Amino acid sequence: MGLAGRTLAAALLICGVAADLVPAASASAPVAAAPTLDDLRAARDAARHRADAQISEGYLEAARDGLEQVVDLSRQIAAVDPDAGPAQRDLLISLNRLAWLFTAESDLAGARQAYDQAIEVAERLAAANPGSARAALDVASTFQGRGDALVSQGDLAAATKDYQAALAFDRKALAADPTSTEAAEDIPLALQQVGDALAAQGDLVGARADYRAALDGYGHAASVSAGQGRDLALAQGRIGDRLLASGDPAAARQAFEASVSTLRRLAGADPASAAAAHDLELALGKLSFAMLGSGGMTSADAPAQEALAIARRLAASGSPSSQADLAFALGRYGDLRRGLGDDAGARAAYLEALGIDRALARARPDAILPARTVGEMMATLAALPGGGVSWAQVVAYDEGLQARGLFEAADVQQLLVYQQRAARPPPAPR
């Protein structure tokens, strides 16, 4: 059955009143009463509970039937409930939930249909409640969901329009309630999504403008939420990533500096937290590259050194994950030293990382990822003049992985590239 294909009989079935349990009708038998509003609500709640349980257990196909029942029952309730506002909002929530499930099942056409219906309901509620921040936020979140589905379908132009519509309603929500933390945080997220859609269409100028506006928006969100927390700090870092990738290292530096400031405070407030320290380490590493790209060559080393020191401290626990993080931090520091023209410093960092990677690969000899990481670091050293590793050694190592079955389709193409490089004369050291 489709979204609207169910009848009142469905409500009776969900309530357990199956037709075969009822005596056959006769000329003298009383006509069964239509389900009451309470009956419909009970049926809806039962179907919703069952669908949620199926989703949590991974039975999405079974949950889909249940959510379609929820939507149909929500429509019936909204049609007869004298308190129409809450019933309509419940229908909106049900449609959004169904659209989410369609998306999770890769049924993008079904998701689009459900979102179309949800937007119709949400806009009707917002029009009936023009001063309601909640109603505006509901419209915004529904447009955002349909925008995500459109991105999955490859319709970036339509997705951009939906993200822009979401942004407009988020701004209406903040105007209606200037203290709304949700609206303040949703505005920069919508700006980021608009920027992502524009960047995917090749409009980097437009994307950068939206990313910069998002950075300002996160700053405002911090003031509204009375003290920025981890989520906002990480969001600022993601904007920094995008600004750096779109060619604006100066604005990226501002984003990473704001992120580092908060994450440093959080790490200081909980010095025993490895997670807080790791957040700070990653943000410092990103800041160093933004500094390098924005002309701060002499200052870029300080945050990179601090990040590496944190990684070393965390690696003292000896856990494989902390060792892998240290190897990654060393590789990133080597990249920075190479960007600064310090090939010797880069080589030292890369070699230390390679030693850790090899130890991790020996501990898990049948795992692809650690083995591949060794090959990648060897290739990094081979590409560095005077790195101490030849392309022939990289080829031999990867061919060994291939013989052991530690290879995937993408690795075959990469091996061909290595073989081509091995055939060239080595570059002279700088």
In this predicted structure, the answer to whether residue 372 has a pLDDT above a threshold of 90 is: yes
The pLDDT of residue 424 is 84
pLDDT of residue 427: 61
Q: What is the pLDDT of residue 4?
A: 38
pLDDT-based confidence at 430, cuts 50/70/90? low
pLDDT at 11 over 60: no
What pLDDT band is residue 234 in, cutting at 50, 70 and 90? very high
pLDDT of residue 85: 84
Q: What is residue 219's predicted lDDT score, i.e. its pLDDT?
A: 86
pLDDT of residue 223: 79
Least confident of 66-70, 173-177, 229-233, 346-350: 229-233
Question: What integer pLDDT is reported at residue 144 of this predicted model?
Answer: 96
Domains (ranges, CATH) in the chain? 332-430 (1.25.40)
| Cα-to-chain-centroid distance, residue 316 | 31
- Average pLDDT estimate for 213-228: 81
pLDDT, one tens digit per residue, over 155-178 is 999 999 999 999 999 999 999 999
Average pLDDT in the chain:
89
Q: CA nearest 81: which of 135, 133, 137, 39? A: 39
Write the CB contacts of 351 (distance below 8 Å, at least 6 apart in sequence): 381, 388
- pLDDT-derived band at 224 (thresholds 50, 70, 90) equals confident
Residue 222 is encoded by which pair of tokens? 């911090």
Q: Model's pTM, two decimal places?
A: 0.78
209, 246 Cβ separation under 8 angstroms = no
**What single DSSP character describes residue 1?**
-
State both tokens at 14.
Answer: 């969900």
The H or E element containing residue 290 is helix 274-293
Check if the beta carbon of residue 190 is closer than 8 Å to that of residue 159.
no
Percent share of the chain, pLDDT over 70: 90
Interacting residues of 309 by C-beta distance below 8 A, sequence separation 6+? none
Residues sharing a CB contact under 8 Å with residue 291, sequence separation 6 or more, in sequence order: 253, 297, 299, 300, 303
